[in-house]
Amino acid sequence: MADIQIPDAIKPVDGRFGSGPSKVRPEGVEALSAVSRTLMGTSHRQKTVKDQVARLRRGLAEFFSMPDGYEVVLSNGGTSAFWETATFGLVREKAQFAEFGEFGAKFVKAVTDAPFLAEPTVHRAPGGQAAYLTAEAGVDVYASVHNETSTGVAVPVRRVEGADPGALLLTDATSGGGSLDVDLRETDVYYLAPQKALGSDGGIWLALMSPAAIERAFEIKATKRYIPQFLDLVTAIEQSRLEQTYNTPALATVFLAAEQLDWMNAQGGLSWAVKRSAESAAALYGWADRSSFAEPFIADPALRSAAVATIDFAEGVDAATIAKVLRANDIVDTEPYRKLGRNQLRIALYPTVDPSDVIALTSCIDYVVERL
C-alpha cells in the first residue's frame, strides 16, 4: 500500500496541510535568512529585535482592524500559557465556558483546578457540535473557542446578551484567528498563537485585549492574589508596551509572524484571508459532498470550519492508510486529532495554504483510494 506513487503532476506544490504547526511560507524563511546576521542571535532588549516585536504588534492591529483602546499583548509559552495566565489574571471569581473539543477543555481544566476560583459553569457539546454561552448572574468571564481545532467546528464571535455589566468575553482564536471573520468589538480578548494561520513557528501567545480586559488584569493584580511571575498578565501588558517580552522570546517566531502579517496585510488583510480560506473550504467540502467515500464530519454546514476541515471516510476506506500513503508522497499532517478517534482526515485551510493545493490534495486522495 505504502508504495503507491502519486504522480508529481497531480501533487500540490506544497504538501503541508497540518493544523499546527502549519505551513510556513518559504518566502518568510528566505526573509529570515536575510537577517541571519543582523537579527538572529542579537539581544531582545535592543532596538533591532524590539522593532520586530513592534512590527508584529502593528501588523496584528492592522490585520484585525483593532478598535481604539485595544492593545496587542504577547508573551512566551503559546496559547497553553495564556490559559494559565488568564486563570490567574482575568477571572475574578467565576467563569463560564462553552466547551466543544479538546482545546476548549484545557482552559476549563485550568480554571476548574484553580483553588482561588469558584467552580465554573461549563456548557458542553459532543465532538462535531457546538456549545454556546448563556447569560448567568455572577459570571465575570465567559470563554469560548472561535475554531475548535480538534473537531473542525467554528462558531461566530459574539457577546453574551444579558451578561452582567463588566463581564469579559475571552475567545480562543488560536486556529480561527486569521482564517475566520471577526469584529473585535464583540470580544474582550481575542488570543492566538503564531503557528496556525499566522504561518510562523510556535512558542508565544498573542492577545488583542479590550480596555475592560486590561483594566481587569490591573484590578486583579491589585488584590494581591498569588500570581506566578511568568504568568503575570500585568507584566506581559507592561512589557508589550515596551515592545518586548518578560523573558527571552524565539526571535525567529516573532520575525516570521511579523513577516506573514505584512504579507497578509499587503494581500488585502483579514477580508482577503477569510475569502481565501473560504475558497479552500468550498473546494474541500464540495469534493467530500460529491465523493462516494468521503463526507464532512460536521453535520451542520453552518458549523463547518473554513480554518480546519475534518473529513470522514466510509467503512472499508481507511483514513489512516490514506494519510500514511500521502505522507510517503510528501503530503503531510493530514492525520486527524488523535483523541477524536474517527476514521477521518483533518486539513488546515489557513490563508497560507493555496486553494489550488487543496484541490490538488483532493485529486491525490482520489488517486490513492482508487489504488487501495
Ligand X SMILES: *Cc1c(COP(=O)(O)O)cnc(C)c1O
By the rule CB under 6 A, 350 interacts with ligand X:
no
Q: Which of 12, 20, 59, 296 binds ligand X (CB under 6 A)?
A: 20
DSSP string, 117-179: SPPPEEEE--TTS-------TT--EEEEESEETTTTEE------TTPPTT-EEEEE-TTTBTT
Which of 18, 28, 59, 202 touches ligand X (CB under 6 A)?
202
- Using CB under 6 A as the binding rule, the residues of this chain from 294 to 333 that contact ligand X are none
Nearer to ligand X, 308 or 364 (CB): 308
Phi, psi of 37, rounded to the nearest 5 degrees: -105, -15
CA-CA-CA-CA dihedral for 114, 216, 52, 229, to nearest 10 = -40
Q: Is 214 helix (H, G, I), strand (E, B) or coil?
A: helix
- Integer Cα distance of 248 and 246 in angstroms: 7
Q: Do the beta carbons of residue 169 and residue 315 sit within 8 Å?
A: no
The Cα 139–Cα 332 span in angstroms is: 43
- Of 133, 153, 184, 193, the residue at the interface with ligand X (CB under 6 A) is 193
Within 10 angstroms of residue 202's Cβ, the number of other Cβ atoms is 18
Helix residue ranges per DSSP H, the chain? 26-34, 47-63, 78-89, 102-113, 211-222, 233-241, 251-267, 269-290, 319-328, 355-371
State the minimum distance, in angstroms, from the CB of residue 146 to ligand X.
Answer: 7
**174 makes contact with ligand X (CB under 6 A):** yes
Q: From 78-86, 239-247, 310-318, 338-346, give the range in contact with ligand X by CB under 6 A.
A: 78-86
Residue in 130, 145, 257, 283 binding ligand X, rule: CB under 6 A: 145
Instruction: State the nearest-atom distance from the C-beta of 328 to ligand X, in Å.
Output: 26
CB of 149 to ligand X, least distance (A): 3
By CB under 6 A, the residues from 98 to 127 that bind ligand X are: 103
**Residue from the set 149, 179, 239, 334 that interacts with ligand X by CB under 6 A:** 149
79 lies in the binding site for ligand X (CB under 6 A): yes
CB 81 within 8 A of CB 249: no
Q: How many residues bind ligand X (CB under 6 A)?
A: 13
Interface with ligand X (CB under 6 A), residue from 15, 28, 78, 178: 78
Cβ atoms < 10 Å from Cβ of 39: 17
The region of 7-15, 29-37, 170-178, 360-368 touching ligand X under the rule CB under 6 A is 170-178
Instruction: Give me the least distance between CB of 132 and ligand X, in Å please.
Output: 17
Choose one: 72-80, 180-188, 262-270, 282-290; the region binding ligand X (CB under 6 A): 72-80
Nearer to ligand X, 193 or 317 (CB): 193
Of 65, 80, 129, 321, the one binding ligand X (CB under 6 A) is 80
Binder of ligand X out of 172, 188, 279, 335 (CB under 6 A) = 172
Name which of 175 and 277 has its Cβ closer to ligand X.
175
Residues that bind ligand X (CB under 6 A): 20, 78-80, 103, 145, 149, 172, 174-175, 193, 196, 202
